[in-house]
Amino acid sequence: DQQVKQNSPSLSVQEGRISILNCDYTNSMFDYFLWYKKYPAEGPTFLISISSIKDKNEDGRFTVFLNKSAKHLSLHIVPSQPGDSAVYFCAASARGSNYKLTFGKGTLLTVNP
């Protein structure tokens, strides 16, 4: 049973446009959410996170939105750049087991020049 779902395996966007990556979760105990970015032949790198007490967190071109009632979060990248092309993983953690990140399968983002 997959508790964190990224239903789009891939997304293609034009440079300069907005990229929206989606993530759904089923475990209502999750209270912390993270996005990781992964280039080929490299490990994932932390990108941005959000606590369940917030509905939005912004860091430069990256904004994460959390809709707790829908158990949905999204990552917005504006404007998208070719260097943003990578696999993006959504991850979640529950209070009391914060070290245990549950990951989605990832979405491959391709930003075309």
Partner 1 sequence: ETGVTQTPRHLVMGMTNKKSLKCEQHLGHNAMYWYKQSAKKPLELMFVYSLEERVENNSVPSRFSPECPNSSHLFLHLHTLQPEDSALYLCASSQDYIRGTGLKKGTEAFFGQGTRLTVV
In whole angstroms, give the CA distance from residue 6 to residue 107.
Answer: 7
Q: State the minimum distance, in angstroms, from the CB of residue 57 to partner 1.
A: 10
Positions touching partner 1 (CB under 8 A) are 2, 4, 31-32, 34, 36, 41-46, 49, 51, 89, 91, 93, 95-96, 98-106
Pick between residue 75 and residue 80 the one whose CB is nearest to partner 1. 75
CB atoms within 10 A of CB 67: 11
Q: State the minimum distance, in angstroms, from the CB of residue 67 to partner 1.
A: 19
Pick between residue 13 and residue 36 the one whose CB is nearest to partner 1. 36
Q: State the minimum distance, in angstroms, from the CB of residue 14 to partner 1.
A: 27
- For tokens 């809709």, what's the residue? 67
Upstream peptide bond of 79 is cis (omega within 30 degrees of 0) = yes
In whole angstroms, give the CA distance from residue 48 to residue 23.
Answer: 14
Q: State the minimum distance, in angstroms, from the CB of residue 105 to partner 1.
A: 5
Pick between residue 75 and residue 106 the one whose CB is nearest to partner 1. 106
In whole angstroms, give the CA distance from residue 26 to residue 90.
Answer: 13
